[in-house]
Structures are given as C-alpha cells and as structure tokens.
A and B are shown apart, each in its own frame.
Chain A
Amino acid sequence: EIVLTQSPATLSLSPGERGTLSCRASQSVSSYLAWYQQKPGQAPRLLIYDASNRATGIPARFSGSGSGTDFTLTISSLEPEDFAVYYCQQCNNWPLTFGGGTKVEIK
C-alpha cells in the first residue's frame, strides 16, 4: 500500500500568514491526490482534488500543486476559520490511503 507522509505534524501560524503543507508519497500517485480539511467534531471537507483543482465552494486562498510523489497545499493568507487539521489522500492505487495529517494551529 502507498504510504503518505505529511509534514510538519503541526504548523503554528498567525492569521494573515501563508501556510505551506507537504505530502510525500512512498511511490508515484501521478496527480491523483486530494486534500481535506477537518475541524474538531466535524466531518472532513474536500478542498483540492487531482492535486490542484479546488472543489466546489472552496476559496481561492487554497491552492494545491505537485505530481508524482511530492505535493503541497498552500493557504495564501490564513483566515481564523482555516485553523484545522489537513489530510492528503491518494486515489491512484487500492487501497486508498490518507496521510497522518497536519494540524494548523494559531500561534
């Protein structure tokens, strides 16, 4: 199975700052990678699919890039509602797998 490693585990930032989250795959997943946001007590929400496409209703401050084994989620200017846990997921191979998550916390 493909292992996804997210870094850092925790990212401490202030509102208005830029956030850069990384996801590395143990083997190529082409561009079949998604990013999800999860807030406490809530279900995950799809942000980005196919590495760089924003899902419906997702603000433009969220962007994704990468292909193969290295991917990045960038939040251009953090809003208060963006402090949450972010997960990457690969959909290139079965079984589908998630990364361990990056918590974006208020500094």
Chain B
Amino acid sequence: QVQLVESGGGVVQPGRSLRLSCAASGFTFSGYGMHWVRQAPGKGLEWVAVIWYDGSKKYYADSVKGRFTISRDDSRNTLYLQMNSLRAEDTAMYYCARNMATTYYSDYWGQGTLVTVSS
C-alpha cells in the first residue's frame, strides 16, 4: 500500500535552515508528482510546493518562494524540502502528499513532521 513517511523536523532558530525528507513506498514514485502542504498549530491547511513527476516543473506558494526548494531523488524514492531563512511563521506540521494522476489533487498523505522556528 502507498506509504509516505516524513522526517527531518525539529526546533530551529530563525534565519537558519532545515531539510525535510519524505520516503515513499508502495507505488512507482518516479511516475507521480509530489506536494508539500503545511499546517500551523491550530490553523488550516496551506499548500507549499509541488514538483512534477520528472522534476521538470516546480511551483511554490508566495509565502515560501525564494526561501524553500522542493526536489526529488527517484533512486531513493524520496522527496525533499530545503527550507532556508526560516521565520517564526514557518512553524507548522509539514505533510508530503502524492499528486493524483492527471490532476493536481493530493490523494495520499504522510503523517507529517513538525517544524518549530524559535529562538
């Protein structure tokens, strides 16, 4: 069955960097686009970024553009989110999600990894 397992979260100081990972299994990872979606404590969902199945296109939310980079390593079946210049408002649970084939919806989600930006 489809499994997505995020890791790499933790407590980080403002201005520092962090890299999140999402290990995928149970499907042909190289055939699917992937998303990152975040949720601040007690708040709603915020879409963060998407990468095409072949890595040819990437889109970002305005709130993270220029600071975050989404990437993938198909040989490791792993999705990444490099987060630089972190701010307090980046504090959230970060979910990776699989892009539903031929659409941009997210049909499978991981359980998330928590990022806390605090001095």
Q: Is the interface of B mostly helix, strand, loop or mixed?
A: strand
Distance of A31 from chain B, by nearest CB (Å): 11
Contact at A95–B60, with CB atoms within 8 Å?
yes
Please, which residues of chain A bring their CB within 8 A of the CB of B37?
Answer: 44
How far is it, in angstroms, between the C-alpha of A89 and the C-alpha of B46 when the chains are bound?
A: 10
Q: How many A-B residue pairs have CB under 8 A?
A: 56
Q: Is A45's beta carbon under 8 Å from chain B?
A: yes
Contact at A95–B47, with CB atoms within 8 Å?
yes
How many residues on A have C-beta within 8 angstroms of the other chain's C-beta atoms?
Answer: 25
How far is it, in angstroms, between the C-alpha of A52 and the C-alpha of B107 when the chains are bound?
A: 15
Q: Which residues of A (60-97) have their CB < 8 Å from a CB of B?
A: 87, 89, 91, 94-97
Binary CB contact string for chain B from 51 to 94 against chain A (1 if under 8 A, 0 otherwise): 00000000111100000000000000000000000000000000
Please, which residues of chain B bring their CB within 8 A of the CB of A95?
Answer: 47, 59-62
How far is it, in angstroms, between the C-alpha of A100 and the C-alpha of B42 when the chains are bound?
A: 11
Contact at A98–B105, with CB atoms within 8 Å?
no
> Which residues of B are in contact with A by a Cβ distance under 8 Å?
35, 37, 44-47, 50, 59-62, 95, 100, 103-107, 109-112
